[in-house]
Amino acid sequence: AGKFYQHAPTETSQATLASVSPVFAVMKFDKEGNTTYFEKKKTELYQELGLQARDLRFQHVMSIATRNNRIIMRMEFLKAVITPEFLLILDYRNLSLEHWLLNELAAQLAGEGQLVTYSLPFEFRAIEAILQYWISKLQGRLNTLQPQILETLEALVDPKLLSVDRSKLHILLQNGKSLSELETDLKVFKETILEILDEEEVIEELCLSKWTDPQVFEESTSGIDHAEEMELLLENYYRQAEDLLNEARELRVLIDDSESIIFINLDSHRNVMMRLNLQLTMGTFSVSLFGLIGVAFGMNLESSLEEDPRIFWLVTGIMFLGSGLIWRRLLSFLGRHLEPPLPPHVPTVLKKSQPAAGRMEIKTSLKGETFGLSRSTLANQ
């Protein structure tokens, strides 16, 4: 009886844990691109895959790891488990992934897409498809931010504006925050790939078929080094992330430079107003100085000058002429001119933006050059 009471709480706790175990909505892709859907508890799933519970404890982080001849990829909200025979996408619902999963990923895995690694084992295609999706998502975010930032900056640095539109500044602030988030995501993506490139053993472990398929192992040892192919694949997407990060940094520098231009424009207009105020003050002083003559004549003092009909025009002319001479003398003394200086020149870097299509063509050619030698080698085999 004592033994029974000792084991009863343990069995009850295990049953409770099993009942509250999270359920994964799983989409499964095989080598031919066929898709199946099912739901399975976490405990059952990691037992079938030969993994541990912590391997499926997905968080919004980015990592690529291997365990028990399985590749576990975490791309923030995108969570995948890759085996030599199939690909599992976990928790795909409510993540706006259905379009990519159904219309693109299945076709790419079946060889209907433009994956360079189609002739290589299945895990190469799965890894490239996920990395391609993620780098395309980052590229799309940059393509959305770049024209908005350039348009806002061109409106703010216009030298004809005497004030800054607060709505434009608010838009620029929001775009700046989005650009900072994009830079962070690109840095994390680069660091994740760089950690794998620095470890040759991890690259070897990513080649799953090399250790399970004798034919693939023989090909790898005889002529086609699958570890080298995997390294080339990761380096390709590392360089693409580096290019995107450089473009994002250029936008960041452009925003900082434009802020300086905005302050220069505002200072220039402020100086114009201060100079105009100073000129009006000097003009008032000049008129007041020679206005004393009119004040003296307006005192109704008797003299012989008021009898001459020409004396009014003579005194008025002397007043205006003297006031003008003193005003011009003060301006020349201060070294100022009546005309305001020309506004600062807007740098032409704002006009310079590379079209997105051109960047995609460059990256497509880069991928072709990166894997050209490997594909020719495989064709010969």
User: What does the angle CA 75 – CA 79 – CA 84 come to, to the nearest 5 degrees?
Assistant: 110
Residue in the structure block whose two tokens are 């023989």: 218
Please give the single-letter amino acid code of residue 166: R
The H or E element that residue 317 is part of is helix 311-334
Closest C-alpha among 57, 33, 59 to residue 45: 57
pLDDT per residue over 336-359, tens digit each? 444 545 555 545 544 444 444 444
CB 219 within 8 A of CB 171: no
More confident residue, 149 or 380: 149
Amino acid 342: pLDDT:
54
Q: What is the pLDDT of residue 168?
A: 79
The separation between the first and the last C-alpha atoms of the chain, rounded to the nearest angstrom, is 70
> Is residue 219's pLDDT more than 80?
no
Sequence length of the chain is 381
pLDDT in tens, 237-255: 999 999 999 999 999 888 8
DSSP class of residue 163 equals S
pLDDT of 301: 58
**One-letter identity of residue 153:** L
pLDDT of residue 258: 79
- Nearest Cα to Cα of residue 155 among 142, 141, 169: 169
pLDDT at 235 over 90: yes
Q: What is the dihedral of CA 265, 267, 272, 274, to 10 degrees?
A: 160
